[in-house]
Structure 1
Amino acid sequence: MSSFNTTLKGGFILMGFSDWPQLEHIFFVFISMFYILTIFGNFTIITISRMDQRLQTPMYFFLNNLSFLDLCYTTSIVPQLLVNISGIDKTMSYAGCMTQFFIVLLLGGTECMLLVVMAFDRYVAVCHPLHYTSIMHPLLCHALAISSWVGGLVNSLTQTSLIMTIPLCGHHLNHFFCEMLVLLKLACEDTGGTEANLFVAGAVILVCPVALILGTYAHIAHAVLKIKSRSGRRKALGTCGSHLTVVFLFYGSAMYTYLQPVHVYSGSEGKFAALFYTIITPMLNPLIYTLRNKDVKGALCKVLGRDTSTT
């Protein structure tokens, strides 16, 4: 317990990528570029969605929420990472670590729930197109968005409370942010029960949404097969392809990281997996939706002052 008290006072040293000191400068440059692109891309999505009347629909309302989440999620990790890599300061207080842990889980859990909501939106659009505007009423859209945040909050409170009950020994975190499995490796006592509870909480926030999304898309696929027109099928699939790509990128990396036992967790692999879901995926999301969406590209050209009527 004395080690735990020391940790409370002295905090942690984030090891980051100090295992590869020759690569730290390269990491700094590329992560800075990716972070700038993430901010620019997601901010652009939010801006054009609000400026163009054609994008005042439930689909883009949820896309705005996703972009806002990605901005907050990346910002909760990357600035600290850049300071760490630059060598200016590799320390973090216990309170700061738990705060970051809580925020990351809150935003990540909210995104898990929001992707389910977006799948439901696509289900209504494809399977019930004539009733889409009446079903996806603004009140329902706001209620679904708020429910996503509440679900993320409950998940974050649950897992943060469990982590804070564990006495920790040592100061060195072999990661670039306060990540759950790395914290569990510092436990001073057996964490079998807590680890099981955390695994169940992680499975609920990851596996259950994936199951709902897959079930939703099974119904969408069945409806698409009934569409006789090839152009109609292409349009229906086009509205879902971007969302499915985002789901695959986000859940794939998150499940790979969190649904594994602590004793098989590899710090090196974990860092690179974390780079993917904390930096790469938020950066790619605006590109995925923009490149596959004529409405977004048209709105962007309109904002930039280009006439697309002849293209």
Structure 2
Amino acid sequence: MDNQTRVFEFILLSLSEQPLQRQVLLSLSFSLYLIGCLGNLLTILAIISDPHLHSPMYFFLSNLSLLDICFTSTIIPKMLVNHLCGLTTISFSACLAQMYFSITFGAADSILLSAMAYDRYLTICCPLHYTTIMSILRCVLLVGIPWISANLISMIHTILMTRLSFCTNRIAHFFCDLNTLIKLSCSDTHVNEMLVLVLGGSMVLIPFVCIMASYTPIAVVVWKVTSAWGKWKAFSTCGSHLCVVCLFYGTIIGVYFNPVSTHTPQKDMAATVMYTMVTPMLNPFIYSLRNQDLKGALRKLFIRNHYAKPL
């Protein structure tokens, strides 16, 4: 019986069963992936190359861009390679690796957004003490904690997944999603489901509460500002981060926190495309379009590369 339920590879579904629609969706996926990676990479290079951007805010932003690149690179290239090579399979070990890294980068992204909210709180509510509080050590800790805690959570889920047997190897998704894999198992999955609820809920709920706790005093301070210019400056400081928070948590909640009765493979795929492709692609544009310093650094980067080309 063990030999019959042991799975050595999984079959992944495509984005669509219709050939023409599948071609369009895959072309769109490749475009979103390329634009997202390029935009996030340019953001990182601009921050590194401009000394004026060597501050905690941009340190967090560069790490967010790195996480977005890693997150999409864990999922999208495998989907594209499978399509180009005419394959629909992924080995058991590769599937676990994809699941591990997708959970790691997604969870780290969530925690890092709360660290960025804390940074915005200090900037607006404690400007005189900002430099003292946000030391280099604290910045490193606020970035290191998301990476370490996310890896520990991924390790727990991956170890528990290796203990399961599977009734079928057909994954109703275009990548190895944790919840989808648990549904395929014919073993007792109560521990897995409980940890998904506890750990997954904690990775979303706790950072979200921290973000709300940071922005509540910010809203109070901004409300007390009498000048329109002062309110606009405060809003421009926090507006980009709030847009990214709404995009990230909106899509995550749409996928994982809706009633089970409302879930269909098509709806889940559409929502997953949002947080695996669209959101990472939009993040650098949201920050660069609303940030004059970052736009200036990007212009300097392009001008420097243009004049550095050999004649």
TM-score, normalised with respect to structure 2: 0.93
Please give the per-residue CA displacement for 1:183-228, whole angstroms capped at 9, x wherever unaligned: 1221114534431331121111111111111111111111111222
The aligned residue for residue 40 of structure 1 is 38
The aligned residue for residue 72 of structure 1 is 70
Residues 73, 104 of structure 1: 8 Å contact kept = yes
**Aligned match of 2:152 in 128, 146, 154?**
154
Residue identity opposite 2:278 in structure 1:
I
Whether 2:48 is the aligned partner of 1:50: answer: yes
**Aligned match of 1:284 in 282, 287, 291?**
282
Q: What's the offset of the Cα at 1:262?
A: 5.6
Where in structure 2 are the equivalents of 1:62-141 lying within 5 Å? Answer: 62-86=60-84, 88-141=86-139
Q: What's the offset of the Cα at 1:153?
A: 1.2
Residues 113, 151 of structure 1: 8 Å contact kept = no
The aligned residue for residue 163 of structure 1 is 161
Q: How has the CA–CA distance of structure 1 residues 265 and 187 changed in structure 2, closer, same or farther, with 3 Å as cutoff? A: farther
Residue identity opposite 2:227 in structure 1:
S
1:92 counterpart SS class:
strand
The aligned residue for residue 234 of structure 1 is 232
TM-score, normalised with respect to structure 1: 0.93
Please give the per-residue CA displacement for 1:137-189, whole angstroms capped at 9, x wherever unaligned: 11110111011111211221222233333221111111110012211221114
Q: Matched residues, percent identical?
A: 39
Unaligned runs of 5+ residues in structure 2 are 305-311
The aligned residue for residue 22 of structure 1 is 20
Please give the per-residue CA displacement for 1:33-84, whole angstroms capped at 9, x wherever unaligned: 1111011100100001011111111000000000000011111111111123
Q: What's the offset of the Cα at 1:121?
A: 0.3
- Aligned partners of 1:98, 1:42: CA distance in 2, in Å? 26
Tell me how large the CA RMSD over aligned residues is: 1.7
Residues 14, 174 of structure 1: 8 Å contact kept = yes
Residue identity opposite 1:259 in structure 2:
F
Aligned length: 303
Residues 24, 85 of structure 1: 8 Å contact kept = no
Unaligned runs of 5+ residues in structure 1 are 307-311
**Aligned match of 1:219 in 206, 217, 220?**
217
